[in-house]
């Protein structure tokens, strides 16, 4: 019998609703039909704020495919999965099975939102749109994060971060001018879409609590990425200005606003105000540049970008990054270009309140970065991600099923034939 079909005493580490009286989302229950990165990233923030995020995992796929992503993968546990799923609960249900659907709808009746990240044609096929669930819970908010939308040809297409960064123009704006288009080193299209979906969920739930009626909330990886084009999109659509790539990650219109090579590394320098440019050249012992008409304004510095950057670059190479930081920091916006390992020093993370530590039965002590939002009087209660189907028994008890009813559901295939396996589908495939 699958783990989900066995009634058991509630785990004291698991909360139906947040026990923290100041948890901002302590009264929010989200049923998350999610997998891989984009959706789980958005609901991770909801869980960190105290929401009860119940992760529905497909028994035929071995649960969330993120469970099987290396490195640090053992059985159905992985550090990749852990990074996106701390503080959530796992419930293995076969949504395509009639008995599984019965359990799912009983769960939906207790929830505020159903949240998914699937290929565009999947929400309707799985019966998780508002039209298909309103009879169960008229207040339910059905959030669908898809690759390219739930209608049209794009509904059939799988969406992945790299494809979206390519298609939305991001990659064409990233990298050296003579190099190839470049994807961000992080899955930013996934992350931004997840946060956009979480924002849409909160807006929908707030409205449903006011009106008593839920609705569909839709967003896509592609549209979320397009929205991030922001001012370059406004420049092009309004004035035909085409943003170009420039060396050393330079800003397309503000000069200087880029990386500079030093004697031993790189330094990021930003001069988004006239006073910063004057302070920069004065502190670098180049005060004459502030009086040079070629460099007297944003517009003139842009026109004479190459001349100015050549002079600054030559000067920056005469001292180390640390020496320039000591000289410029607090006067001009500057930062060392550090490695990820340097940025993740545990002492620094602890001082900023950003170090998360909690025990895990497979990985020992898991360390990660925490919620970057501070709410007065509230400290997130970070807990490990769930093992596959870990909370099925508890949730079935919460929903009022007897042991006999659970056994009958199991016999009817509500929880699949097995909660194991190593297969899986990606987040919007």
d(CA 373, CA 73): 29
Burial category of 21 from C-beta neighbours within 10 Å (exposed 0-12, middle 13-18, buried 19 and up): exposed
Instruction: Give the pLDDT of residue 116.
Output: 98
Is 249 among the domain residues?
no
The verdict on 78 and 149 lying in the same domain is yes
- Does residue 420 fall inside a structural domain? no
Q: What is the mean pLDDT of residues 308-322?
A: 98
Computed from CA positions of residues 285, 286, 290, 295, in that sequence, does the dihedral angle turn out positive or negative?
Answer: negative
CATH at 23: 3.40.50.10540
| pLDDT band at residue 20 using 50, 70 and 90 as cut-offs | confident
Is the pLDDT score of 424 beyond 80? no
Q: Please indicate, yes or no, whether residues 314 and 383 belong to a single structural domain of this protein.
A: no
pLDDT digits (tens, 9 = 90+) for 261-276: 999 999 999 999 999 9
Is 316 within a domain? yes
Quote the CA–CA distance of 153 and 82 in Å, as a whole number.
Answer: 34
* Residue with token string 């970065």: 369
> Which residues are registered as beta bridge partners of 32?
55, 115
Same domain, 332 and 365: no
Helix residue ranges per DSSP H, 304-398: 305-316, 321-328, 340-343, 346-351, 392-398
- Whether residues 330 and 372 share a domain: the answer is no
Active site residue 246: no
pLDDT band at 281 (very low <50, low <70, confident <90, very high): very high
189 and 222: one domain?
Answer: yes
Whole-number Å distance between alpha carbons of 209 and 314: 61
Based on the fold, state whether residues 135 and 193 are members of the same structural domain. yes
Instruction: Give the C-alpha distances (Å, rounded to integers) separating 411 from 111, 338, 414.
Output: 26, 56, 8
Closest CA to 160 of 424, 426, 348: 426
Tokens of 332: 């001009």
One domain, residues 332 and 357: no
Within a domain: 240: no
Give me the pLDDT at residue 21, please: 77
- 80 and 38 both lie in a single domain: yes
> How far is it, in rounded angstroms, from Cα 412 to Cα 395?
18
What residue spans of 91-187 are helical by DSSP H?
98-108, 122-126, 130-133, 161-167
User: Is residue 418's pLDDT more than 50?
Assistant: no
Residues 329 and 390 in one domain: no
Shared domain for 275 and 330, answered yes or no, is yes
Per the model's pLDDT, the better-predicted residue between 330 and 2 turns out to be 330
Q: Which residues lie below 8 Å from residue 77, measured CB to CB, with a gap of 6+? A: 67, 360, 362, 363, 387
Q: How far apart, in whole angstroms, are the C-alpha atoms of residue 374 and residue 282?
A: 38
| 107 within a domain of the structure (yes/no) | yes
Residue among 20, 246, 251, 360 flagged as catalytic: 251
CATH value at residue 303: 3.30.1540.10
Statement to judge: residues 275 and 300 lie in one domain? yes
Q: What is the pLDDT of residues 288-301, one digit of tens each?
A: 999 999 999 999 99
Closest to 385 measured CA to CA, from 20, 34, 26: 34
Q: What is the domain range of residue 172? A: 3-228+353-411
138: left (phi over 0), alpha (psi -120 to 50) or beta: alpha
Q: What is the mean pLDDT of residues 91-109?
A: 98
Comparing CA positions, the residue from 278, 174, 175, 268 lying closest to residue 229 is 174
Q: Is residue 348 part of a domain?
A: no
Angle at 130 between CA 42 and CA 163, to 5 degrees: 45
Residue 400 domain-assigned (yes or no): yes
Residues 168 and 294 in one domain: no
Structure tokens at 85: 């799923």
Q: What is the pLDDT of residues 336-392, one digit of tens each?
A: 999 999 999 999 999 999 999 999 999 999 999 999 999 999 999 999 999 999 999
Q: How many structural domains is the chain composed of?
A: 2
Burial of 178 (0-12, 13-18, 19+ CB in 10 A): exposed
Please give the helix or strand (H or E) that residue 143 lies within, else none: strand 141-146
% of the chain surpassing 70 pLDDT: 93
Rounded Cα–Cα distance for residues 90 and 5 (Å): 13
Q: Is the pLDDT of residue 419 over 80?
A: no
Q: What is the pLDDT of residues 9-19, one digit of tens each?
A: 333 333 344 55
Q: What is the pLDDT of residues 164-209, one digit of tens each?
A: 999 999 999 999 999 999 999 999 999 999 999 999 999 999 999 9
- Residue 342 is assigned to a structural domain of this protein: no
Per-residue exposure over 238-272, b if at least 16 CB sit within 10 Å of its own CB, e if not: eeeeebebbebebebbbbbbbbbebeebbbbbbbe
- Locate 423 and state its tokens: 């297969």
Q: Name the pLDDT band for 307 (thresholds 50, 70, 90).
A: very high
pLDDT band at 108 (very low <50, low <70, confident <90, very high): very high
Tell me, what's the pLDDT at 417? 81
pLDDT, average across residues 111-129: 97
């Amino acid at each position: 019998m699958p783990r989900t079909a066995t009634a058991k005493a509630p785990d004291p580490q698991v909360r139906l609703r947040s026990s923290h009286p100041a948890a901002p989302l302590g009264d929010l229950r989200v049923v998350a039909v999610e997998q891989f990165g984009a959706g789980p990233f958005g609901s991770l923030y909801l869980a960190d704020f105290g929401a009860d995020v119940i992760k529905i995992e497909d028994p035929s796929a071995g649960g969330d495919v993120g469970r099987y992503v290396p490195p640090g993968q053992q059985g159905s546990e992985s550090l990749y999965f852990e990074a996106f799923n701390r503080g959530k609960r796992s419930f293995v249900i076969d949504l395509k099975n009639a008995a599984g659907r019965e359990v799912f709808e009983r769960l939906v009746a207790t929830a505020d939102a159903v949240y998914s990240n699937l290929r565009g044609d999947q929400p309707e096929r799985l019966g998780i749109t508002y039209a298909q669930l309103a009879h169960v819970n008229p207040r339910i908010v059905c959030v669908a994060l898809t690759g390219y939308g739930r209608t049209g040809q794009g509904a059939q297409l799988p969406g992945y971060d790299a494809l979206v960064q390519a298609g939305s123009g991001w990659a064409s704006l990233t990298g050296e001018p003579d190099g190839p288009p470049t994807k961000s080193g992080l899955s930013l299209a996934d992350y931004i879409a997840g946060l956009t979906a979480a924002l849409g969920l909160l807006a929908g739930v707030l409205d449903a609590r006011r009106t008593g009626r839920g609705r569909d909330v839709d967003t896509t990886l592609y549209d979320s990425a397009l929205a991030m084009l922001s001012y370059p999109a406004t420049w092009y659509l309004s004035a035909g200005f085409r943003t170009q790539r420039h060396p050393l990650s330079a800003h397309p219109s503000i000069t200087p606003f880029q990386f500079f090579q030093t004697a031993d590394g790189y330094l990021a320098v930003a001069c988004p105000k006239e006073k910063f440019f004057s302070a920069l050249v004065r502190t670098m012992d180049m005060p004459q540049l502030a009086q040079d008409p070629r460099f007297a304004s944003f517009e003139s510095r842009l026109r004479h970008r190459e001349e100015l950057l050549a002079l600054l670059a030559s000067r920056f190479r005469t001292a180390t990054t640390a020496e320039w930081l000591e000289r410029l920091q607090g006067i001009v916006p500057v930062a060392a270009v550090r490695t990820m390992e340097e940025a993740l020093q545990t002492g620094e993370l602890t001082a900023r309140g950003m170090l998360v530590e909690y025990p895990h039965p497979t990985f020992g002590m898991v360390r990660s970065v925490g919620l970057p939002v501070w709410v007065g009087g509230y400290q997130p209660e970070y807990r490990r991600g769930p093992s596959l189907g870990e909370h099925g028994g508890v949730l079935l008890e919460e929903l009022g099923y007897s042991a006999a009813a659970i056994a009958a559901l199991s016999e009817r295939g509500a929880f699949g034939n097995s909660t194991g396996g190593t297969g899986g589908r990606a987040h919007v495939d």
